[in-house]
Amino acid sequence: MRLLHTDQPLTDEFTLIAELFRPLTDGMPEARGLADDVAVLGARPGFDLVVSSDALVAGVHFFSDDPPDLIARKALRVNLSDLAAKGAIPYGYQLMIAWPPGIPDAYKRDFVRGLREDQTRFGICLFGGDTVSTPGPMMVAVTIFGHVPQGSCPGRGGAATGDHILISGPVGDAWLGLQCLKGNLPAHNTSWDRDLIRAYHLPEPRLDLGGRVRSLATAAMDISDGLVADASHIGRYSQVCMSLDLDQVPTSKAAHHLIGLGISPIDLISGGDDYQILCCAPPDGAQQLITEGFVKIGLCRAAEPGRAAGVEVLSQGRRLDITRPGWVHGL
């Protein structure tokens, strides 16, 4: 193994891998020192390996001039959020990265500093990946691995009529942070802007709650594309109507203040990037989840004949017309 001075120019893919990425393996044998064609993940008796991938593209999921360490941390966190929603214990990750030409070494080092910070915080390490150059925008994709006790990973399809619908925390801050960055908010008290922008840049994966979700929820997922859109996935796969009560959906103080200034709460439940856990549980389990910090926001009803299973949003008992439920990538 060549030892490289830390400030040596990152002239090619191999220098980059050896100098920047190899330290992120923390010497874990799975990664084989990033000197092989594969990573090798041993089976853990009594557990299932849970795997999820999410990609972030410049201009779509982040701004090209966002700080690179924050881009890296968000790439890890959106994946960790998927594990959290399934009650999985984080294990490690693969990193696929496409650099456009001319990215300075300092930028790449900052990116890796962000990975280091969050992988230490969340107890994971790098197992491998791929590095390519691209004529297009920068792209970062993470595939994350976690473990759940065998057979215990909740899906989207297990919710039943009568289950309560719960959410792990406030909705809409990240969307407001994005609007704030775009200069789209009405004149307001700016003292909360930092928190809103932080919610957009650095979601907090709810790993603190996952274990309870795994044991109590009939269906669970994290919300990334907007509460309404993601609830409709549980509705569709579970063949129930997810009846959400807008008036019970928790919002932060800052969001509440902005609603007072004319921001529509419907935008908050349609905007994405919340990374809270949405789950369903029968009344007893729901009560236990509420003591853990979940908030009840609705009820699973029988899907009406002739109406597709999915989602409805009520406010003061009346069904609202939601035309744009959430973020969908056009293809």
Where do runs of H (alpha helix) occur along the chain? 13-16, 68-85, 105-122, 173-181, 193-201, 210-216, 227-238, 253-260, 265-270, 283-291
Which CB sits closer to ligand ADP, 125 or 258? 125
Which CB sits closer to ligand ADP, 119 or 232? 119
Query: Does 131 participate in binding ligand ADP (rule CB under 6 A)?
Result: yes
Q: Residues 231-261, buried b or exposed e (16+ Cβ, 10 A)?
A: bbbbbbbbebbbbbbbeebbbbebbeebbee
According to CB under 6 A, which one of 121, 130, 136, 208 is a site residue for ligand ADP?
Answer: 130
**Helix axis angle, 68-85 to 105-122, nearest 10°:** 30
Provide the CB-side half-sphere exposure for 121 (13 A, CA).
14
Q: Interacting stretch for Mg ion, rule CB under 5 A, among 107-115, 128-136, 228-236, 314-322?
A: 128-136
Applying CB under 6 A, what is the total number of residues that bind ligand ADP? 12
According to CB under 6 A, which one of 21, 99, 175, 192 is a site residue for ligand ADP?
Answer: 21
Within residues 307-326, the interface with ligand ADP by CB under 6 A covers none
Query: Does 114 participate in binding ligand ADP (rule CB under 6 A)?
Result: no
Name the closest residue to Mg ion (Cβ): 130
CA dihedral (66, 68, 73, 78) in degrees, to 10, reads 50
Which CB sits closer to ligand ADP, 35 or 60? 35
Here the tokens at position 126 are: 């790098």
Query: Does 36 participate in binding Mg ion (rule CB under 5 A)?
Result: no
Q: Which does 93 bind (CB under 5 to 8 A by kind): Mg ion, ligand ADP, none?
A: none
Which CB sits closer to ligand ADP, 21 or 200? 21
Query: Does 304 participate in binding ligand ADP (rule CB under 6 A)?
Result: no
Here the tokens at position 121 are: 């915080």
- Other Cβ atoms less than 10 A from the Cβ of 10: the count is 20
Which CB sits closer to ligand ADP, 130 or 208? 130
Here the tokens at position 32 are: 């084989």
Q: Interacting stretch for Mg ion, rule CB under 5 A, among 23-31, 122-130, 210-218, 264-272?
A: 122-130
Which CB sits closer to ligand ADP, 137 or 283? 137
Give the nearest distance from C-beta 95 to Mg ion in angstroms. Answer: 11
According to CB under 5 A, which one of 14, 36, 59, 130 is a site residue for Mg ion?
Answer: 130
The letter for the amino acid at 184 is N
**Rounded to the nearest 5°, which phi and psi values hold at 98?**
-115, 115
Q: Which does 122 bind (CB under 5 to 8 A by kind): ligand ADP, Mg ion, none?
A: none
Among 14, 15, 106, smallest CA distance to 5 is for 15
Give the nearest distance from C-beta 99 to ligand ADP in angstroms. Answer: 10
Name the closest residue to ligand ADP (Cβ): 128
Strand ranges of the sheet holding 89-99, from the earlier edge strand across to the other edge: 47-57, 139-149, 89-99, 125-133
Beta bridge partners of 142: 54, 95
CA dihedral (43, 45, 48, 50) in degrees, to 10, reads -40
Which CB sits closer to ligand ADP, 95 or 178? 95
The letter for the amino acid at 148 is V
Could you give the string, one character per residue 68-107, with x where binding to ligand ADP holds by CB under 6 A and - elsewhere? ---------------------------x-x----------
According to CB under 6 A, which one of 114, 128, 169, 205 is a site residue for ligand ADP?
Answer: 128
- Which residues of the chain form contacts with ligand ADP (CB under 6 A)? 17, 21, 34, 36-37, 95, 97, 126, 128-131
Residues that bind Mg ion (CB under 5 A): 130
